[in-house]
């Protein structure tokens, strides 16, 4: 047990990661040594930032809490704090069930950890973070909350209504990170496209992206989690015309049949979705679309699923993730539907969908053979440097493997000729 060391563990999405980074910066300023996601936690204090989105994530969070609670029972840990979405949603139950935890904090109450440690929150550092990512990229959370009412989603129950950050604050944060050497910025929100409606009374995502793209030193901006209904078309010229805005858009569609879109309360039709995909590709040539699709939502028939398969075959998404429906309490589904699709049917549909996508992904990657692409280097192994193109977001997308023929600098950009392709990764050589 190392005195004045705090081990911080972050579970869940990149939005949680930003919260952890802000907390760690404050703790660092108060004299603590911080270790994030350590394989060998040795601090006298541990803080677990939890996820409460779906069943698997909740189980992972609970298991992590229990493992640290066991360390505390064995007197290998003095204090254990838990924050984030799981404790926001189930604070009373968790407090009763896991008494080894000194205190649970809601998702937006993490600043109280600092005062409960007898320390002070430093307002001057409110936009600063202790980055847990490689030093050349960072996540930028542009908002909290969500105003959508999707049938299956518990996030609005946890995070509340949409809350945009002011443009000027985001610009200041990015400028500060650029000064520290960050070159690549992943914009994240539960719903990017709603940005600005609450504080400016109109969608402002296009203006925000353009303002940040004008900051000297910003090399790449990548956009995550757009919503298809009422999509802000003025974003497309910004993606097309700004060289440092990646030709990449993460837009969660979830399904395509009108039956399922209606049951999911997605506020868009099949034809509206198809028209939007065509419009995006026409207005921003070369864009790579990433989407997530759900199988096994209550009421999904074989016909619905086959429509989804056909849609994926026709649309040829460059990036695609899929997940089985998880029945979450207090959601619209919980109150109005029965989870009537068998787990084995969900898994079978998921496998079929990913089989189709694997062939598409291979075709997409093979088309890149012979092209020279701008690649940022993230890391190295004994045999390869590992990088990404503008079409690849960290953690969720593929990578470019580069033979170690000459020394490269982590965090720098290089021109790489693509020499071979696999379904989800590329191989190349420095030009």
How far is Cα of residue 54 from the mean position of the Cα atoms in its chain?
15
- C-alpha dist (Å) from residue 429 to 99, 372, 403: 55, 9, 7
Q: What is the pLDDT of residues 377-429, one digit of tens each?
A: 999 999 999 999 999 999 999 999 999 988 999 999 999 999 999 999 999 99
Q: Is the distance from CB of 331 to CB of 157 less than 8 angstroms?
A: yes
Which residues, listed in sequence order, are joined to residue 430 by a DSSP beta bridge?
Answer: 416
Which residues, listed in sequence order, are joined to residue 294 by a DSSP beta bridge?
Answer: 323
- Torsion over CA: 262, 265, 266, 272 (sign): positive
* Residues 6 or more apart whose Cβ sits within 8 Å of residue 155: 53, 146, 190
Would you say how long the chain is, in residues?
A: 431
Q: Is the distance from CB of 142 to CB of 192 less than 8 angstroms?
A: yes
- C-alpha dist (Å) from residue 8 to 60, 83, 185, 368, 425: 15, 10, 23, 40, 31
pLDDT confidence tier of residue 65, bands split at 50, 70 and 90: very high
pLDDT above 90 (res 161): yes
* pLDDT at residue number 38: 86
Q: Is the distance from CB of 352 to CB of 309 less than 8 angstroms?
A: yes
Task: Give the residue carrying structure tokens 């298809």.
Answer: 228
d(CA 19, CA 112): 13
d(CA 23, CA 27): 6
pLDDT confidence tier of residue 274, bands split at 50, 70 and 90: very high
d(CA 270, CA 402): 41
* pLDDT at residue number 141: 97
Q: How far apart are the first and last CA of the chain?
A: 49
* pLDDT at residue number 12: 87
Q: What is the pLDDT of residues 340-375, one digit of tens each?
A: 999 999 999 999 999 999 999 999 999 999 999 999
DSSP 8-state secondary structure symbol assigned to residue 370: T
Return the biggest CA–CA distance within the chain. Answer: 61
Q: Could you tell me what percent of the chain has a pLDDT over 70?
A: 100
pLDDT above 90 (res 56): no
Residue 140's nearest CA partner among 232, 321, 17 is 17
Average pLDDT for the chain? 95
* pTM higher than the cut 0.85: yes
Task: Give the residue carrying structure tokens 């990646």.
Answer: 246
d(CA 292, CA 54): 15
Alpha helices in 316-423 (DSSP H): 332-336, 343-366
How far is Cα of residue 49 from the mean position of the Cα atoms in its chain?
15
* pLDDT at residue number 286: 96
* Strand spans (E) along 53-158: 79-84, 103-104, 137-141, 143-144
């Amino acid at each position: 047990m190392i005195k004045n060391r705090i081990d911080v563990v972050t579970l869940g999405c990149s939005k949680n990661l930003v919260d952890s980074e802000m907390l760690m910066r404050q703790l660092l300023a108060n004299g603590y040594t911080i270790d994030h996601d350590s394989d060998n936690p040795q601090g006298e204090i541990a803080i677990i930032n939890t996820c409460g989105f779906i069943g698997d994530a909740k189980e992972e969070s609970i298991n992590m809490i229990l493992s640290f609670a066991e360390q505390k029972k064995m007197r290998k840990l003095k204090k254990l704090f838990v924050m984030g979405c799981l404790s926001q949603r189930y604070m009373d139950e968790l407090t009763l069930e896991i008494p080894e935890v000194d205190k649970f904090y809601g998702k937006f109450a993490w600043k109280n950890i600092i005062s409960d440690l007898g320390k002070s929150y430093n307002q001057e550092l409110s936009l600063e973070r202790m980055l847990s990512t490689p030093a050349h990229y960072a996540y930028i959370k542009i908002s909290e909350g969500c105003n959508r009412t999707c049938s299956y989603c518990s996030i609005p129950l946890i995070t509340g209504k949409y809350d945009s950050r002011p443009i000027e604050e985001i610009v200041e944060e990015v400028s500060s990170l650029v000064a520290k050497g960050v070159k690549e910025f992943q914009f994240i929100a539960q719903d990017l496209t709603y940005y600005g409606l609450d504080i400016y009374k109109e969608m402002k995502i296009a203006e925000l992206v353009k303002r940040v793209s004008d900051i000297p030193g910003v090399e790449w901006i990548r956009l995550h989690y757009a919503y298809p209904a009422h999509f802000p078309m003025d974003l497309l010229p910004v993606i097309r015309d700004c060289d440092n805005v990646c030709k990449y858009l993460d837009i969660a569609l979830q399904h395509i049949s009108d039956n399922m879109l209606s049951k999911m309360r997605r506020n868009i039709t099949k034809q509206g979705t198809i028209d939007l995909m065509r419009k995006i590709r026409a207005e921003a040539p070369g864009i790579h679309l990433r989407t997530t699709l759900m199988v096994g939502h209550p009421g999904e028939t074989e016909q619905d699923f086959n429509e989804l398969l056909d849609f994926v075959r026709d649309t040829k998404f460059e990036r695609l993730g899929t997940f089985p429906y998880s029945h979450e309490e207090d959601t619209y589904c919980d109150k109005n539907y029965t989870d009537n699709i068998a787990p084995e049917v969900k898994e079978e549909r998921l496998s079929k969908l990913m089989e189709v996508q694997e062939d598409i992904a291979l075709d997409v990657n093979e088309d890149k053979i012979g092209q020279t692409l701008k690649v940022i280097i993230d890391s190295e192994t004994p045999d390869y440097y590992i990088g990404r193109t503008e079409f690849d977001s960290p953690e969720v997308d593929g990578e470019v493997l580069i033979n170690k023929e000459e020394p490269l600098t982590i965090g720098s950009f290089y021109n790489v000729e693509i020499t071979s392709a696999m379904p989800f990764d590329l191989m190349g050589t420095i030009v």
